[in-house]
Structure 1
Amino acid sequence: MNKSVFSNSLWMMSEKIISIFGLIFVTSYVAKYVGPNIYGQIAFATSLFQIVQIVSQMGSDVIIFKRLSKNNSSGIKLINETSFIRGVVYIFISIPIVFWSIESENNYSLYFIVACCLSCFFTSLDVYSVYYDARLESKKNVFVNVLGLIVSLFLRWGIAVFKLDPVFLSIPIIFTGMFPYFFRMYLFRKNLGIRASNKKNKFKYIRFLIASGSSFVISSISVAIYTRVSLLLLGFFCGSSLLGIYSVAVSLATSWIFVCNSFITSNLPSIFSSNNELETIKITAKLNILVILIGCVVISFAIIGGHYGISLLYGKDYVLAYTPFVILCAATLFSSLGTIASRFIAKYSGYSYLSKKAFCVLILSIMLNVIFINLWGIIGAAIATLATEFISLTLLNYLFKGGIVLKLHAYKIFYRG
């Protein structure tokens, strides 16, 4: 790993370290204050609109990243000219959800749903972060995200300390998505001198995004839903309180994924730009080994200290999160390896395959979650997630291009150089 890639990874990780600090000392304090029921309502609303957010982006993050890796100027234009279509798609999907919520939810849930709707709207437009990641300039993303995160955490902490009505949590929820978007947009346009283009060019890039992203639509919907199926179905079958407990397990179990994602994102330009298959496999295999080592360390710590940590930080109301937490740590490892495999497949333009695979994973995830949640509750939800991630990583990837992903996984086992 060269110096610039490693430096970029460290910058990306430094932001998430502050997020971990917030998760440990602020989010846990807020969760303890509001209790599992309200915390579960917030988790449900967040999951709902994160799905809308991902769908509205239509896979543009991968398309833009790949374009920037090969042609920086064209990638910049693609970012600038396609914001409109992402915003329209988001609004079109989210309005019916908000109106449905007005009729069916209680006051607290409605406030959180509207807040999450607004926050995720700004996040759906914010693909400027992709530019800085692709250019290995993640320190700019870090500066913006950390500033917004500190203010948001301070607001959450203040609401809990002064025991304000939990509805005020809507303010930092909105701020979390709004601030980074406007700040990054300002930096992007100021530094690059972006000018408004004519309608012909705008529609050309929109058509390109729709054409290139069409294979991502089903994939985006499927991935967005299947990664949150356990949360949504658990809320449906078991109620907000158990959902709140499970969401703590999810938050803790996925909190370390930023380390893996930092190295993955920083290595993507090398993977996408390589024209040699063996060299591509070699780079990706090294990345797999690194992720596995990190995951094994995290899982060991989760088993040893997880129960005590949850009890200390969140209180006795959340101790049921321990077992799902450990299981989900393993699922997070498989998910990180799956991200690498998906980008590896994307390198070979396997977008159609990824789309079909994602739909199969969605169906599998729904089936497993319905069965296991009804059998074992929150532990069943965690087991279903683990099984889904493992099958997605292995069997469903090995069918691509004569088993090239299997070759990749075998290579990392025997790799010595």
Structure 2
Amino acid sequence: MNKILYNIIWLIFDKFFILFLQFVVGVKIANYYGADLYGKYSYAISLVAFSEIFFELMNPRVIKKFYTEDSYNNIVYNISFFRNIMAFLLFFVPIILKLFFTIDNLLFYMLLLICFDNILNSTTFGIENFFEYKLESKRIVVSNNIVKTISYILQYICMILNMEILIIPITRCFGSIIRVFILKHQYKVNYLKNSKELKKKFDKNLILKIIDESKFLWISFVAFLIYTQIDKIMINYYLGEKEVGIYTVGVQLSSILAILIGPIQNSVFPKMLELYRKDYKKYYNFYLLSNTVITQLYLVLTVLSIITLKYLFRYVYSDEYLPAMNVYNILAFSVFVKAIGALQTSHVTIKNIVKKSFYKTLVGLILNIILNNILIPKYGINGAALATLLTQFFVLIFLDFFIKEYREHAFIQLKSFNSFYLLKMFKNRRV
């Protein structure tokens, strides 16, 4: 348990450090370039985000089930190789689009640079996944913080020198190059001391096996990615790039609230997997305790964040971003819903009951597109946020009560609202 908490603390530190840099530099950049240019950059990121459809053919949680003391290096190499090939092929997509469709030059160059950054990030994916499995996220955090510090300093200098917004993805790529060298060095020093382990072997069967076990999670992820990114695409279609920039600020603020979810998911998963293999009762109690802690924590954080933002927003962002406050107020509850269901993907992966996740997410995708089409023209960017909240609630909470295999974690999520139950669990653990 101490190792889990230690790992969570390092991951949270990473999030808060990057958050600090975003407020010191990132906000200045958004204010400096304005909602129009910043909206174009955000739109480019949303388009490239769909590349995750190909990367997620090998689910990170499924990969962790294959690690052994003897085979970890082979797995690290093969999953990194697979993602690298995907990223390399996707790099040519903007070029092909430029040849056949009308894309302005600034957007085109942004897309190319962000796709190149994808190639750099995929190079170390296997190493990062393995470090997460070993609960050694400290290694990832150190490299991230070094790189982000360098990147944001360069961005700030370039902003002072009145350079174009294209410098942001350029510095992002430069930072990723440094990150590749740091992570590869750490992995080599700590896990490849024996020269024999340096041998790399392409294992098609391993890749296909992981892909096969990931297929339902992948289909679910594809649908989930579409309905979490489609809002910016539809905002751009109905309202324009400026509104995308304003909406992005609201989304970024909501990602700050969600800062704890990822670290908890990554750190708790190995423990859940261990307990499931040993004692299901202990696994169930650990799952219930963890989910209850997350739910109660986010219930408080959601309310406090809305109150705090009301007084601090004007001191951080320029007035043209003021509509982002209402976007955040809605998305904050969406984050709360996400926190309630934070561990359900880990649960269905461990129990190998992921098949019906596809149907859940497919329903969510269709619902989200319908809601966006109805609510964006009527309520603008607030409508997009509302569509996200309603979809998240329906998919992550409501629908599970009607699926037999998922009813167990649906009731766990329901029990997680009981504050007295949390106190009782802690009391029993002390006894």
Q: 8 Å contact 2:63–2:210 — kept in the other structure?
A: no
Q: Which residue of 2 aligns with 1:401?
A: 405
Alignment partners' CA distance in 1, 2:406 and 2:59: 27
- Asked whether 1:105 is paired with 2:103, we answer yes
Q: 8 Å contact 2:75–2:126 — kept in the other structure?
A: no
* CA-to-aligned-CA distance 1:226-269 (integer Å, 9 cap, x gap): 22121221122211100000000000111132223222221111
Q: Could you list the runs of 5+ residues in structure 1 that have no partner in the other structure?
A: none
Matching residue within 376, 387, 393 for 1:390: 393
Q: Which residue of 2 aligns with 1:81?
A: 78
CA shift at 1:26, angstroms? 0.9
Residue type of the alignment partner of 1:325: Y
Q: In structure 1, the residue corresponding to 2:399 is in which secondary structure?
A: coil
Q: In structure 2, the residue corresponding to 1:104 is in which secondary structure?
A: coil
| 1:283–1:325 distance in 2 versus 1, CA, 3 Å | same
Q: Structure 2 matches for 1:129-168, cutoff 5 A?
A: 129-168=128-167
Q: 8 Å contact 1:59–1:220 — kept in the other structure?
A: no
Q: 8 Å contact 1:82–1:205 — kept in the other structure?
A: no
100-109 vs 129-138, which moves further:
100-109
Alignment partners' CA distance in 2, 1:111 and 1:133: 33
| 1:268–1:198 distance in 2 versus 1, CA, 3 Å | closer
Alignment partners' CA distance in 2, 1:338 and 1:101: 40
CA shift at 1:351, angstroms? 2.3
CA shift at 1:378, angstroms? 0.5
Q: Could you list the runs of 5+ residues in structure 2 that have no partner in the other structure?
A: 426-431
Residue type of the alignment partner of 1:117: C
CA shift at 1:282, angstroms? 1.6
Q: Which residue of 2 aligns with 1:256?
A: 257
| 1:73–1:240 distance in 2 versus 1, CA, 3 Å | farther
Q: Structure 2 matches for 1:8-407, cutoff 5 A?
A: 8-68=7-67, 71-101=68-98, 103-125=101-123, 126-193=125-192, 194-199=197-202, 202-275=203-276, 276-398=279-401, 399-401=403-405, 403-407=407-411
Q: In structure 2, the residue corresponding to 1:228 is in which secondary structure?
A: helix
| 1:120–1:197 distance in 2 versus 1, CA, 3 Å | closer
329-338 vs 34-43, which moves further:
329-338
Q: 8 Å contact 2:43–2:233 — kept in the other structure?
A: yes
Identity of aligned residues (%): 20
* CA-to-aligned-CA distance 1:346-405 (integer Å, 9 cap, x gap): 121122222332222222221212211121111001101111111111123331416112
Q: In structure 1, the residue corresponding to 2:50 is in which secondary structure?
A: helix
Q: 8 Å contact 1:152–1:172 — kept in the other structure?
A: yes
TM-score (norm 2): 0.89
Alignment partners' CA distance in 2, 1:3 and 1:233: 45
| 1:59–1:148 distance in 2 versus 1, CA, 3 Å | same
Aligned length: 412
Q: In structure 2, the residue corresponding to 1:15 is in which secondary structure?
A: helix
Residue type of the alignment partner of 2:62: I
Q: Which residue of 1 aligns with 2:428?
A: none
Alignment partners' CA distance in 1, 2:379 and 2:98: 29
Residue type of the alignment partner of 1:396: L
Residue type of the alignment partner of 2:205: K
TM-score (norm 1): 0.92
Alignment partners' CA distance in 2, 1:152 and 1:47: 21
15-24 vs 394-403, which moves further:
394-403
Q: 8 Å contact 2:40–2:107 — kept in the other structure?
A: yes
| 1:31–1:353 distance in 2 versus 1, CA, 3 Å | same
CA shift at 1:94, angstroms? 4.6
44-53 vs 186-195, which moves further:
186-195
Alignment partners' CA distance in 1, 2:258 and 2:326: 19
Q: 8 Å contact 1:364–1:388 — kept in the other structure?
A: yes
Q: 8 Å contact 2:254–2:331 — kept in the other structure?
A: yes
Q: 8 Å contact 2:400–2:406 — kept in the other structure?
A: no
Alignment partners' CA distance in 2, 1:108 and 1:292: 43
Two-structure CA RMSD over aligned residues (Å) = 2.1
CA shift at 1:271, angstroms? 0.9
119-128 vs 26-35, which moves further:
119-128
Q: 8 Å contact 2:375–2:384 — kept in the other structure?
A: yes
307-316 vs 37-46, which moves further:
307-316
Q: In structure 1, the residue corresponding to 2:342 is in which secondary structure?
A: helix
CA shift at 1:183, angstroms? 2.5
Q: In structure 2, the residue corresponding to 1:136 is in which secondary structure?
A: coil
CA shift at 1:326, angstroms? 1.3
CA shift at 1:74, angstroms? 3.2
Residue type of the alignment partner of 1:151: I
Alignment partners' CA distance in 1, 2:14 and 2:34: 28
Alignment partners' CA distance in 1, 2:312 and 2:339: 24
Residue type of the alignment partner of 2:395: S
CA shift at 1:32, angstroms? 0.4
